[in-house]
């Protein structure tokens, strides 16, 4: 059952926060949704936004400035939290930001103590879309986007479910988590030491084996201090070229890892998605 936390009118649509009991995560979860004014008259398509390490549903909705263009295009935006929450939910015992609360990495954990709650892949790709489509005036036409850890989540969701998402985009995504410190730490904790189990949550590895493509847009700031060690954009570029995958990967001079970067290019991403959401809705 949904419980409304807040509701604010913006660009003639409505931004609201809700909480609900999640069956896949076995805890209470919060998400934010922006419903454009068109949703008062017809079901609208949805863009799911997955946020990065330490973020909640609030960061994107408050900082990216996406609602104006979403209202123009008639696209709903849904932003879930980045991990399960609650006193009963496991967290990093050392209090580090890159594991545990706020750092679910959008995988289905198999290792104790994480497996009981950290089923974020199922939550964002199955449970939450079903809930949104049942409770709000939206269609089942959807795309997905995200930032950093959330960019990783968006890419793997689209690559693993090419018939479910009409398009995918990402800002500063962790594209090859099996080969970077953030990813290695999280995947070891959540999935164990068997690296073969990690590969199904790695965009570069998944792209090697795809047979159906999803239109993709990736923006990466050249001044991002995580680029070389954690994000590894060049590895994705190599696979895209080898597979001739339909992806635009844009290196943006002077931009860093912050929401200033996202706010600069979010309109282009929304218009990119709108093209495919409209095409699918008209079929």
Which one of the listed residues 51, 125, 145, 148 is annotated catalytic? 148
Which one of the listed residues 117, 147, 257, 269 is annotated catalytic? 257
| Nearest alpha carbon to residue 147 among 3, 45, 261, 25 | 261
Residue where the block lists tokens 């895209």 = 240
Instruction: Name the β-bridge partners of 252.
Output: 221
| Cα–Cα distances in angstroms (integers) from residue 73 to residues 92, 240, 272, in the given order | 41, 29, 11
Residue where the block lists tokens 């079929």 = 283
| Nearest alpha carbon to residue 178 among 190, 161, 162 | 190
Catalytic annotation present for 224: yes
- Which tokens go with 143? 């795309």
- Which tokens go with 225? 């201090």
Which one of the listed residues 202, 224, 269, 273 is annotated catalytic? 224
Catalytic annotation present for 257: yes
Give the catalytic positions in this structure.
Answer: 148, 224, 257
């Amino acid at each position: 059952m949904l419980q409304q936390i807040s509701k604010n009118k913006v660009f003639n649509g409505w931004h609201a926060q809700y909480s609900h009991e999640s069956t896949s995560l076995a805890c209470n979860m919060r998400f934010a949704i922006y419903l454009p004014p068109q949703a008062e008259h017809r079901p609208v398509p949805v863009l799911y936004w997955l946020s990065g390490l330490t973020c909640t549903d609030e960061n994107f909705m408050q900082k990216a400035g996406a609602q104006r263009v979403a209202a123009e295009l008639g696209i709903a935006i849904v932003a879930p939290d980045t991990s399960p929450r609650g006193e009963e939910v496991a967290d990093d015992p050392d209090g580090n930001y890159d594991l545990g609360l706020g750092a679910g990495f959008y995988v289905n954990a198999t290792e104790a103590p994480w497996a009981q709650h950290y089923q974020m892949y199922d939550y964002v790709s199955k449970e939450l879309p079903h809930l949104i489509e049942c409770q709000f005036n939206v269609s089942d036409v959807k795309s997905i986007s995200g930032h950093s850890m959330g960019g990783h989540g968006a890419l793997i969701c689209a690559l693993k479910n090419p018939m479910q998402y009409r398009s995918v985009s990402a800002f500063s995504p962790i594209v090859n988590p099996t080969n970077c410190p953030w990813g290695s730490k999280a995947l070891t904790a959540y999935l164990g030491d068997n690296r073969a189990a990690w590969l199904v949550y790695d965009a570069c590895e998944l792209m090697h084996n795809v047979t159906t493509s999803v239109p993709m847009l990736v923006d990466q700031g050249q001044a991002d201090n995580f680029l070389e060690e954690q994000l590894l954009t060049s590895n994705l570029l190599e696979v895209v070229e080898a597979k001739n995958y339909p992806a635009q990967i844009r290196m943006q001079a002077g931009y860093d890892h912050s929401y200033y970067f996202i706010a600069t290019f979010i309109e282009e991403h929304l218009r990119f998605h709108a093209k495919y959401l409209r095409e699918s809705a008209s079929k």
